């Protein structure tokens, strides 16, 4: 209230005959305006000290910084919203994508999205897209890109993915799928590729076994079953043979190179031949770097907003 009263007195005096018009704060104090705008409390304290000592104090210096501070606070609140992280991860069969996705999701809280899961969910729900996809699958044909791309798009645009960020697992798998996502304006911040040698991949796939009771995946060498009872009921997928896995790897390698042509500038290759802990340390470092860059971009945008 005291500052309001003082402003009124000063304004009245400035409009009397013979008085020059009141200058704005930026005109009178070009270098001091910003420095005092950050602290409303400091201005109030200064005013109180001046009054206590019986000195006359012009509130024009106080009132304008208050307005600047309020404006600055508004800009900060409007712009202090970091865009969530968007990640794509790719790798050949048995490259360790599933393990890394779990670790990423646990640390960063991203929404994990896999195209295969979306297809199965649509089919189970009996949606129109699910019915169309099922027709192709029952004929042993690949589901057209247009169906899968729309499923992925709709999932990425849901509220949880928009708020928390997303982790797209093993998709896109072809150039046409990647191009379709680009055309829809869907682009990740980073494309992680797990590089594993063919020799290691073949060993991992051929040694894989499934527990039909629990659905858990074991490996005869790296993750053997807990007991003989479980070991006795393990099954092997029909395509987890050396001959078939090599054909799958050949198809994967051809497709992934085409996909990388679109994401070349944001691709990070991680050696997947080492332990899952070390692999994740590399993935974690790459994600942290992306977050730091996004934060700097956000800060620069905020500074530009404050400057205007």
Catalytic residue numbers, as ranges: 97, 173, 208, 237, 248
The two structure tokens encoding residue 272 = 């997947």
Rounded CA-CA distance 31/36 in Å is: 10
DSSP-based three-state secondary structure for 213: coil
Give the integer Cα–Cα distance in Å for 168 and 214.
Answer: 25
Residue partners of 237: CB distance under 8 A and separation at least 6: 208, 210
Instruction: Give Cα 283 distance to the centre of its chain.
Output: 14
Task: Give CA–CA dist 93/201, Å, rounded.
Answer: 7
Q: Which of 134, 126, 89, 153 is nearest to 290 (CA)?
A: 89
User: Cα(174)–Cα(184) distance, rounded to whole angstroms?
Assistant: 16
Interatomic CA distance for residues 130 and 123, integer angstroms: 4
């Amino acid at each position: 209230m005291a500052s309001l009263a003082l402003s009124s007195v000063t304004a009245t005096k400035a409009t009397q005959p013979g008085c020059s018009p009141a200058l704005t704060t930026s005109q009178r104090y070009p270098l001091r305006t910003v420095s005092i705008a950050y602290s409303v409390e400091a201005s109030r304290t200064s005013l109180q000290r001046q009054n206590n000592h019986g000195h006359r104090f012009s509130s024009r210096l106080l009132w304008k910084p208050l307005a600047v501070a309020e404006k600055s606070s508004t800009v900060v609140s409007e712009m202090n919203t970091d865009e969530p992280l968007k990640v794509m991860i790719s790798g050949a069969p048995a490259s360790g994508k599933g393990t890394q996705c779990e670790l990423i999701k646990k640390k960063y809280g991203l929404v994990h999205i896999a195209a295969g899961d979306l297809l199965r969910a649509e089919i189970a729900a009996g949606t129109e897209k699910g019915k169309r996809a099922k027709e192709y699958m029952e004929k042993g044909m690949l589901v057209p890109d247009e169906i899968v791309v729309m499923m992925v798009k709709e999932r990425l645009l849901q509220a949880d993915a928009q708020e928390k960020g997303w982790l797209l697992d093993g998709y896109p798998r072809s150039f046409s799928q990647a191009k379709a996502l680009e055309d829809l304006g869907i682009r990740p911040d980073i494309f992680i590729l797990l590089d594993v040698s063919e020799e290691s991949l073949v060993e991992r796939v051929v040694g894989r076994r499934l527990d039909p009771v629990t659905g858990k995946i074991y490996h005869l060498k790296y993750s053997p079953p807990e007991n003989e009872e479980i070991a006795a009921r393990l099954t092997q997928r029909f395509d987890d043979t050396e001959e078939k896995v090599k054909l799958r790897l050949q198809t994967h390698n051809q497709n992934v190179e085409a996909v990388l042509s679109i994401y070349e500038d944001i691709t990070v290759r991680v050696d997947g031949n080492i332990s899952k802990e070390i692999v994740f340390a590399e993935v974690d470092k790459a994600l942290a770097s992306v977050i730091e860059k996004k934060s700097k971009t956000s800060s620069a945008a905020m500074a530009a907003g404050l400057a205007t």
